[in-house]
Amino acid sequence: PKRFLQMLLPGPGRQPEGSLDGGATRAFSKRVLTWRLVGEAFSSQLSVAEQRYIFRLAFRMWSEVTPLDFQEDLTAPGAVVDIKLGFGRGRHLGCPRVFDGGGQEFAHAWRLGDIHFDDDEHFTPPSSDMGISLLKVAVHEIGHVLGLPHTYRTGSIMQPNYAPQETAFELDWSDRKAIQRLYGSCEGSFDTAFDWIRKERTPYGEVVVRFSTYFFRKSWYWLYENRHNRTRYGDPIQILIGWRGIPTQNIDAFVHIWTWKRDVRYFFKGNQYWSYDSEEDQAHTADERGRRYPRLISEGFPGVPSPLDTAFFERRQQLIYFFQESLVFAFDVNRNRLLSSYPKKITKVFPAIVPQNHPFRNIDSAYYSYAHNSVFFFKGNAYWKVVNDKDKQRNSWLPSNGLFPKKSISEKWFDVCDVHMSTLNM
């Protein structure tokens, strides 16, 4: 009881959680938070493994939309674990707020990170459509511990009343923006970004071309759903799981050569490159002449150095631009050789529109976006957009291939957030 009493006293400048004039308030200043299902407070309704899995998933769902990472900690002294979860009935766990039995109040969260679930409720796993989804309640209560108050906005996970879920629930746009107002957007550099083009046949037999946007970082990746302004639910995923036969981390570049005669996709890492089979969704083992992959970049692209920083295919010119350090190499895919006037300084080929506002060297990724019909240079948290035809039509004075001043990647592509390694392959 002493433990909870001192939590009720509002901290300096803080309202006790849930006070009538409270609002959203950031609760933690560090980036990695630890949590634990308290050993003497397991539920009697689900296996301990299932309870822990559900909580791990609940934390992961917040981690997918915030810069926070959550790690289950089973060894540190209880007092240093940031968020402790436990089940109890009636008078429980030394908590001054007594549970009322099955129905009505099903859980509550305390300001300093304790979350209690009323074990008189019928909590069920995500796969069940009976009872009360433990996952949904856990995501709600974690939202409180992170600083979010109740809202009656339809669709929000922070509504005070439990809404039986029709489909698998996710954090919607407004909940994401609410938590990002407290903890900021997700930043970080990418190893490569690209649009994956694929042809599909509609039920009426027409061939349509669709594209998906991918962001790669270290050993994981996100699919970005441009029409929903967010990453795919459940991402990031390990590269190992989603892409068969290419290196499982730290990809340098991706290039899709797409002309009337060719439709090939290459991944580059170090001094080698891999060809990827879109139909079979795996890397080729050999090319049409039987030469095995991976192959040396110096063999497949004579004159191109390695390792590369990045590369992209310019479809109209049918050139691949390879980037290394402060230089860019233009490679003619039809003659299979470098243009004679290359390499050149990146700043010469892609001049800054605003002086000194330029990535200069070591570009993380040169990404042609079909959603925006533009090339973007990514470096660190920033992107520079390359002048395209539409820009030129509007302002003819713009230099060809000029770079607009840098902006923040997280202001254009939302919710590309890391998760803790321990939850990466959930």
Would you name the residues annotated as active-site residues?
A: 141
**In angstroms, rounded to a whole number, what is the distance separating the alpha carbons of residues 64 and 212?**
19
**CA quadruple 258, 262, 267, 270: dihedral positive or negative?**
negative
Of 131 and 399, CB closest to another protein: 131
Neighbours of 65 (CB within 10 A): 24
The residue among 205, 224, 208 whose CA lies nearest residue 216 is 224
Cα–Cα distances (Å) from 60 to 48, 378, 426, in that order, read 18, 26, 9
Q: How far is the CB of 68 from another protein (least distance, A)?
A: 19
Q: How far is the CB of 160 from another protein (least distance, A)?
A: 5
Return left, alpha or beta for 411; rule: phi > 0 is left, psi -120 to 50 is alpha, else beta: alpha
Of 34 and 324, CB closest to another protein: 34
- Phi first, then psi, for residue 170 (nearest 5°) are -140, 170
The residue among 402, 374, 67 whose CA lies nearest residue 193 is 374
Of 4 and 370, CB closest to another protein: 4
Q: How far is the CB of 77 from another protein (least distance, A)?
A: 9
Of 125 and 247, CB closest to another protein: 125
Of 227 and 394, CB closest to another protein: 227
Q: How far is the CB of 178 from another protein (least distance, A)?
A: 9
Q: How far is the CB of 101 from another protein (least distance, A)?
A: 4
Maximum distance among all Cα pairs of the chain, rounded to whole angstroms = 80
**In angstroms, rounded to a whole number, what is the distance separating the alpha carbons of residues 132 and 262?**
54
